[in-house]
Amino acid sequence: MYTMLRVTLFVFALSVFFSCQQPAEKSTTSSYLDYSQTDSKLSGGNKVIPINTPLGVFNVWTKRVGNNPTIKVLLLHGGPGATSEYFEAADSYFPGASIEYYYYDQLGSGKSDNPNDERLWTVERFVDEVEQVRVALGLDSSNFVLLGHSWGGILAMEYALKYQNHLKGLIISNMVSSIPDYVKYANEVLGPQLPPDILKTIRSYEEKGDYTNPAYLGLIQEHYYPEHILRMKPSEWPNPVNRAFKNINYPLYLKMQGPSEFGVVGNALLKNWDRTNDLNKIAIPTLTIGGEFDTMDPKAMEKMSTLVQKGSYLYCSKGSHMSMYDDQETYFNGVISFLKKL
């Protein structure tokens, strides 16, 4: 009888143990979806943040997805002047990995205010804007990760060089650290890959500065974009990408990037931007991402990972500039793996 009592007590103890364990697993899932302690619960994660600028106060739009106290990723879109819409592919991956992340349209882009004043379109002012967004969202070095793509990669590098004490990690996606090197690669490597007659025609339009000619744009969209921007037929491009392109703030793009698709020309603000020699100052864990068919040299992006103090490299063998779409599994699995190791 004593033995039977001991067995009964043992079985009871096991049942209590496992019943206590199961709710914990549910709690982990439910806590990721719990917005009860956030100031954006009423708006479904949307938060409009006032930004102080030399020309007054303007609002920028952000949207929070998920809840994770140790990993909070702020997405910096490209352009300049595009929108955060093309990051929507993250919705298929980040929630399953319990990663908290934020959509964010920079000033002049998407759902944010557009002051339409060129005096605000400087790298320094955008860096200050990101810092104000960080403060408003309550992000800090225990959780804050920047993921910057294309122009967003420039912005991420600049922010890290000034404010890396606030960062837990940095992701530089599909962006090199030197615009002159980018221009050289476009002209000497990518351009000659086009059919000679197509390249000759494109160059003729660019020599005349006729960048808005429908014939020029048609050639770029038919022969260059499907090879180096997003390796799909343009008719098959995902809706988030099409929306981001459709909603681009072209005057802002023109001011900072310039009109050419083969690098940065004219008096574009970013024409001489180069931070290669400063990368060794970045001490936080950093992931650089490059695509084999990118508009940027993948070898240069790999080298960047060796120039920062704690770098690693993610190579997307099928990817172009939008590797999050044309090499999606590689891209997001690599990003998630990096984030989980922080």
- The model's pLDDT over 20-33, given as tens digits with 9 standing for 90+, comes to 444 433 336 678 98
Residue 214's CB: how many other CB atoms inside 10 A? 7
Q: At which residue do the structure tokens 């931070």 appear?
A: 275
> Do the Cβ atoms of 96 and 155 come closer than 8 Å?
no
What's the token pair of residue 329? 């599994």
Cα(260)–Cα(254) distance, integer angstroms: 9
Average pLDDT of the chain is 90
Class of domain 33-342 as given by CATH: alpha beta
Decide: residue 161, CB within 10 A, 0-12 exposed, 13-18 middle, 19+ buried: middle
- Enter the pTM of the model: 0.90
The full set of domain ranges for the chain reads 1-32, 33-342
Q: At which residue do the structure tokens 């940065």 appear?
A: 264
- The model's pLDDT over 158-201, given as tens digits with 9 standing for 90+, comes to 999 999 999 999 999 999 999 999 999 999 999 899 999 999 99
- The model's pLDDT over 264-300, given as tens digits with 9 standing for 90+, comes to 777 889 999 999 999 999 999 999 999 999 999 999 9
Backbone angles phi, psi at 8, to 5 degrees: -60, -45
Enumerate the active-site residues: 150, 294, 321
Q: At which residue do the structure tokens 């922080």 appear?
A: 342
